Structure 1
Amino acid sequence: MKPKKSTKVIIPFCFVGKHQLTVKTEITEDTKKSNFRNEVKKTVNKPTKTETVKVKKPTINITMDKGLFKTIKNPRSTPIFEKDKHCNNFEVVLAHSTATPIRNHNGFAYTCIYCTEHFKHPADLKTHTLMKHDNRDDRRKFMKTQTSGGYLLKLDITMLKCTICDTNIDTLEGLFDHLQNEHKKLIYTDIKNQIVPFKFDGEELKCAICPRVFTTYKVLLGHMRSHYRNYVCEVCDYGCFNRKLMLTHKKSHKTGSFECNTCSKVFETLQKMRQHSYTIHKFKSMPAKCTVCNERFKSFPIKDQHMISVHGMKPVVRKCLACDKVFPTQFALRIHTKKDHLMERDYKCEECEMKFFSKEQLKFHMLKHTGQKDFQCDVCLKWFTRKYVLSEHMRIHMNDRRYKCLQCGRGFVQKCSWRGHMRSVHGETDNSVLY
Structure 2
Amino acid sequence: MVTYTTAYPFRLPETSLMCVYCCESYADSAKFRQHMVSEHDTFKVETAFAHCPYEGYLKTDCTDLRCRTCGGKFTKIEDAAKHLNDAHDRKINFDFHLGIQPFKFEGEKLLCGICDRNFPCLRQLSRHMSTHYQNFTCAECGKSYTTNGSLQQHMRFTHIPDERICRRCKQTFSSLEAKREHAENSPKCWPYQCVQCAQRFIKWSAKEKHLTTVHGQATRTHSCPECNQVFTSRNSYRVHFATMHAGVNFVCSWCGRKFGTKRHLEQHTVVHTGIKLFDCTVCSKSFPRKANLAQHMWIHSDYKRFECNMCNKQFNQRVSYKSHMKAHHPEIQNY
Of the candidates 19, 25, 30, which is equivalent to residue 118 of structure 1?
Answer: 25
In angstroms, what is the RMSD of aligned CA positions? Answer: 5.2
Report the counterpart of residue 248 of structure 2 in structure 1.
none
Deviation at 1:240, TM superposition (A): 2.7
Q: Does 1:171 align with 2:54?
A: no
In the alignment, structure 1 segments of 5+ residues that lack a partner are 1-92, 307-313, 403-435
Identify the match of residue 195 of structure 1 among 95, 100, 106: 100
Task: Output the amino acid matched with 2:47.
Answer: K
Deviations 1:223-271 (CA, angstroms, capped at 9, x unpaired): 12332222222223233333333333333324425589989785869xx
- Write the distance in 2 (CA, Å) between the matches of 1:260 and 1:144: 27
Q: Deviations over 1:272-325 (max 9, x none)?
A: 89x97xx9549x9863669xxxx967577759x99xxxxxxx975479x9xx97
**Structure 1 288/160 Cα, relative in aligned 2: closer, same or farther at 3 Å?**
farther
What residue is the counterpart of 2:293 in the other structure?
362
Q: 1:134 to 1:316 in 2, by over 3 A?
A: farther
Q: Cα gap change, 1:357/1:344 in structure 2, threshold over 3 Å: closer, same or farther?
A: farther
1:388 to 299, 308, 319: 319
Instruction: State the match for 2:138 in structure 1.
Output: 233
Matched to 2:3, the amino acid is A
Looking at structure 1, the residues matched to 126 and 307 of structure 2 have their Cα atoms a distance apart, in angstroms, of 48
Please report how far the alpha carbon of residue 383 of structure 1 lies from its aligned counterpart in structure 2 after TM superposition. Answer: 10
Equivalent in the alignment of 1:97: 5
Structure 2 residue identity aligned to 1:180: N
CA distance in 1 between partners of 2:96 and 2:66 (Å): 24
In 2, Cα distance between equivalents of 1:141 and 1:248: 28
Please state how far the C-alpha of 1:202 moved relative to its aligned partner: 2.7
**Cα distance between partner residues in 2 of 1:129 and 1:193:** 21
TM-score normalised by length of structure 1: 0.50
Please show how residues 44-123 of structure 1 align to structure 2 within 5 Å: 93-107=1-15, 109-123=16-30
| TM-aligned CA deviation for residue 204 of structure 1 | 2.8
Q: Secondary structure at the match of 2:134?
A: coil
2:193: which partner in 1? Answer: 287
Alignment pair present for 1:141 and 2:47: yes
User: How far has the Cα of 1:180 moved from its partner?
Assistant: 0.8
Give the whole-Å Cα distance in 2 for the aligned partners of 1:121 and 1:186.
Answer: 34
Partner of 1:328: 234
* Higher alpha-carbon deviation: 241-250 or 166-175: 241-250
Q: CA deviation at 1:349?
A: 3.8
Find the aligned partners of 1:103 and 1:376 in 2 and give their Cα distance: 47
Query: How much does 1:135 deviate?
Result: 1.9
Matched residue type, 1:362: L
Larger relative contact order, structure 1 or 2 (CA cutoff 8 Å, min sep 6)? 2
Identity fraction in percent: 22
| 2-structure distance, mates of 1:115, 1:171 | 27
Structure 1 Cα separation of the partners of residues 84 and 66 of structure 2: 11
- 2-structure distance, mates of 1:377, 1:115: 58
Q: Say if 1:152 and 1:242, in contact at 8 Å, map to a contact too.
A: no
Question: What is the CA–CA distance in structure 2 between the aligned matches of 1:105 and 1:219, rounded to whole Å?
Answer: 13
Letter in structure 2 aligned against 1:111: M
> 1-side partners of 2:152 and 2:171: how far apart?
26
1:348 to 275, 278, 284: 278
Distance (whole Å) between structure 1 residues aligned to residue 168 and residue 105 of structure 2: 45
2: CA distance, partners of 1:246 / 1:263: 17
2:148 matched residue in structure 1: 243
Relative distance call for 1:329 and 1:124 in structure 2 (3 A) is farther
Where 2:70 maps in the other structure, the secondary structure is coil
How much has 1:197 moved relative to structure 2? 0.7
- Paired residues of 1:215 and 1:317 also in contact (CA < 8 A): no
- Structure 2 distance, partners of 1:166, 1:99, is 13
Number of corresponding residues = 283
2:38 corresponds to which of 123, 128, 131: 131
The offset of 1:154, in angstroms, is 0.8
Separation in 2 of the partners of 1:196 and 1:263?
Answer: 32
Q: Distance in 1 between matches of 2:317 and 2:154?
A: 35
Q: For the residues of structure 1 that align with 2:100 and 2:236, how far apart are their CA atoms? A: 25
